[in-house]
Structure 1
């Protein structure tokens, strides 16, 4: 049987928006998952503005971003008073009218009994308060368009005795992200949550050394940060009518 001259593929796929020409802020964009997201977005034509606590990490990340695209950033500690506001102010001066917010900066936390009071307060400041205040600034800036994506944690699905503070905070972010989606969706702002399981990054040190991380990634018992970035890319390139409310990513060889 002769093939038709033209095949109708109208129902085989759906139109997806591109990323080129967009502008994004990425908190915690100097290492790990945040860096991987910033590099991938930059390679897709997104101008990025990042932050991290370490000047050397910032310089290294910006050098890599500059190899594939365009980016800038500042060193700041979002757990300190006034630093969220400073980051967003500097991002506005550099990017102007940005339309993607990746809220990702976080610090590790242990079981409640293993942390002193100052450590708990700092973890809450970075992992929860800075998330909420960053979202507040993002909603105010975006008004009626754009995307807000939060980085969550699989620890909320697999609770352990040593994850009391971190899992508790990330559970709060999980609920906050879903509620915020419902609050701002009618305005045209999309809100999503990417929830990674065990992923290689500086975040895992000193518990898992870089050498062990490399071995586990090779053995497929740990993911690369770039794997999570690809998931974020998928979330950002869905039609405007479609929201990926939560994307859970786990390593293939896992008992999760």
Structure 2
């Protein structure tokens, strides 16, 4: 049963915005609390992000599925076409727009909370082949994780699993695992620890898309029959009297 689209779109916008607020805000706090120690700053930033993402999935998952990520939404649409249980093209467009707008708003909110200019374009350049490979790996792993859980009937553990994966991927990927086009765009609006220069955004997004294609392909190979599970992404959504 489909849910009222506007309610799901609000959930996606809020969830993505708060995720970027967590990422950028904890990065600013880490830089202030641990000046000169990049390793400790990254530890603080990744720890806050892993916990925050887990909480946000639990909070908004019952409403929208807690995608918070355009490539997750696209994968949900593409992988769900056969059984008709994924997003429609209309829903996909609305989700992606809300995610991008939310991400930008989340960066602005973090900037303002910490006394920064509302918008300060990042000057942190992240344009290099090894970083792009890191983004492809991080995104492929994220897509494979989410949809393997869904297709094997374990979607209930997705909040903790996704949070843990992103927290770990901060460390095992060269790019510190953005793995999300909307979040990447949002982080360009903050010239702080978690920022990315606007000129570096297209390369990151391109390789995130490549990674998503690889991840979706692996899902099809390893979990070819989606009918084995009827669970939804990322946690089961509740009816809540909002059917449309």
TM-score normalized with structure 2 length = 0.29
Higher normalized helix content (fraction of residues): 2
Higher normalized strand content (fraction of residues): 1
TM-score normalized with structure 1 length = 0.28
